[in-house]
Amino acid sequence: MHSTPIPESADLPERLEVAVRALVEAAGCVVSFTVLPEPESVTEARHFALSRLTAWDLPTLSDDVGLVVSELVTNALRHSGHTGERYGRLSDPLRSAPSAIRLRLMHKGPWLLCGIMDASTSAPRRKEPDYIAETGRGLHLVESFCTRWGWRGLPGGKVVWALFRAPS
């Protein structure tokens, strides 16, 4: 099955660029969840995101955000070298202490920005759809359920982000 690396996010609108930077730096109203290197963490990350959506009164985004968080956390666990035996590390840009995979959420107005930070420097890769395979459709789903998504390289890793807009 053929896969294509996704180009790094460039030339974002200024407000989105500022928001992605704030998400990475955990600045302002960003909430964060540490994803442990175990399969149960996918469910825990999804529950964390859904609890934040409830607190922020964004229930209409629950299904889409829950699905995207599940896909992105699964990808991070699968492709960043995080397993039960080997705990990869990512330096948080504003803190000296290393951290695991991080789920970060930021809400402003009708917008929700979700990011998954991991220790892999490899670009996300979109596979050609194979409708029989059990895996390989994650980034197609992410693209289908959010307003926009992308990724950015960081020192010691990357962030894959997804932007959502709550219906009016």
Neighbouring CB atoms inside 10 A of 102's CB total 22
**How many residues would you count in the chain?**
168
What confidence score (pLDDT) does residue 128 get?
67
pLDDT band at residue 134 under the 50/70/90 scheme = low
Which of 5-14, 47-56, 64-73 has the lowest average pLDDT? 5-14
Task: Report pLDDT for 86.
Answer: 38
For the segment 88-116, what is each residue's pLDDT rounded down to a tens digit?
444 444 343 344 799 999 999 999 999 99
CA–CA distance, 32 with 30 (Å, rounded to integer): 7
> Where does the pLDDT of residue 27 fall: very low under 50, low under 70, confident under 90, or very high at 90 and above?
confident
Q: Topology of domain 3-165, per CATH?
A: Heat Shock Protein 90 (3.30.565)
Distance (Å) of CA 83 to CA 39, 76, 88: 9, 11, 8
pLDDT confidence of residue 135: 57
Structural domain spans, the chain = 3-165
pLDDT, mean of residues 8-28: 91
The tally of CA atoms less than 13 A away on the side-chain side of residue 93 is 15
CB 60 within 8 Å of CB 167: yes
pTM of this prediction?
0.83
What average pLDDT is seen over the chain? 84
pLDDT for res 11: 86
